[in-house]
Amino acid sequence: MAAMRDVVFVDGVRTPFGRAGDKGMYAGTRADDLAVKALQGLLARNEGLPLDRIDDVGIAATTQQGDQGLTLGRTVSILSGIPVTVPGFALDRMCAGALTVASFMGAAIGSGQYDIAVAGGVEHMGRHPLGLDADPNPRFVAEKLVSPDALNMGLTAERLHDRFPALTKERADRFGMLSQHKVQAAYDRGDIQPDLIPVATRSAAGWGLATEDEGRRPQTTMEGLAGLKTPFRPHGRVTAGTSSPLTDGATMSLMAGADTARELGLTAKMRLVGFAFAGVEPEVMGLGPVPATEKALKRAGLSITDIGLFELNEAFAVQVLSFTDHFGISDEDPRVNPWGGAIAVGHPLAASGVRLMIQLARQFEQRPDVRYGVTAMCVGLGQGGTAIWENPHFDGKKGK
């Protein structure tokens, strides 16, 4: 058997994320057009890439119907101008869709089956709300396999507060507030904008151009968060201020073998060290990243102390805090989501995994003292996914 090849993340881009719903900036935009715009932006940034060398295009979506169906990887590839000789597919692992596509493409590249692949995700939650037309098998409830409300992500977050009393509402509120502040600070520094692909929008008011994430609230205060309603249950602890909002958006990334990248003059922004997925009780799905990260670290021969940056998807503040508490990481550790996260920018479900990768790659450029970083997220119905990445800019003299 041939030795495994090094796999690299060459580049990644995304559309600005918009609020889902009739008042959101993408209310009049098709889901597949969001994905096309992101993929065209990725290809335009990598002009030296021979399109016929792409081995596959994988695009994740959670609700695969209407303009978000019809095997997105294939249809979006054709619409983006990639030769029809290049195949494509769609995948669903709910929130970890794009992370799964990137991981599996990495495995295919590492084993020598592929040289170059596109991995992305799209979710138009305004047109395709989570669970729309879903028909869960009655055995889940009849045989008491899963609680009837396990599909309500907000209630799974409330259960984390119940299970871990140390995860207080005040801690979650502070985490949510800081996410908003950190995202705005990153915008002010110009850290996020370089990887955003502008999207033309249309509404009753006419044409517009989406250039920034729509849902940011940098003015958020602890006092304001304390007064928010708890929509998932009376006297609960999860609020809109500590949850990722319903969001529309698309992400795309380019993965390659390190040798192929060198051959084509493509710059590697990260090296894929390894990945893992794991399952937990659906009722506490937010715990999923814990066993996934433990599994990924063990396989890579690393420990949590080797990780210098964490990009954790903020489905809910309490979910991230359950991860950091488990690993003994403080609430305001500068390694965790230094540019904020999904509570501020939004979480278009299947697209979010690549957003984490994009931000980690940018941070690696600025942090030659950091060798390893993690992208991790929880997944509905009780799963977690984690990928470990190595910084090609690492300077051993500046860090461990």
Q: Which one-letter DSSP state was computed for residue 146? A: S
Query: Catalytic positions, please?
Result: 95, 347, 378
Q: Please answer whether residues 385 and 289 qualify as being in contact, where contact means their C-beta atoms are separated by less than 8 angstroms.
A: yes
β-bridge partners, 309 = 373
Residue 13: CB partners within 8 Å, gap ≥ 6? 38, 41, 42, 45, 195, 196, 197, 251, 252, 253, 358
End-to-end Cα separation, the chain, in angstroms: 33
Residue 331: CB partners within 8 Å, gap ≥ 6? 171, 174, 175, 321, 324
How many CA atoms lie within 13 Å of 95's alpha carbon, on the beta-carbon side?
Answer: 31
> How do strand 18-19 and strand 56-60 relate by DSSP bridges?
unpaired
Spatial separation of the C-alpha atoms in residues 159 and 147, rounded to whole Å: 12
Q: What angle do CA 82, 59, 155 make, to 5 degrees?
A: 165
Q: Please answer whether residues 123 and 349 qualify as being in contact, where contact means their C-beta atoms are separated by less than 8 angstroms.
A: yes
* Closest among 233, 241, 82 to 177, alpha carbons compared: 241
Spatial separation of the C-alpha atoms in residues 339 and 331, rounded to whole Å: 15
Spatial separation of the C-alpha atoms in residues 160 and 378, rounded to whole Å: 13
Residue 397: CB partners within 8 Å, gap ≥ 6? none
Spatial separation of the C-alpha atoms in residues 107 and 298, rounded to whole Å: 17
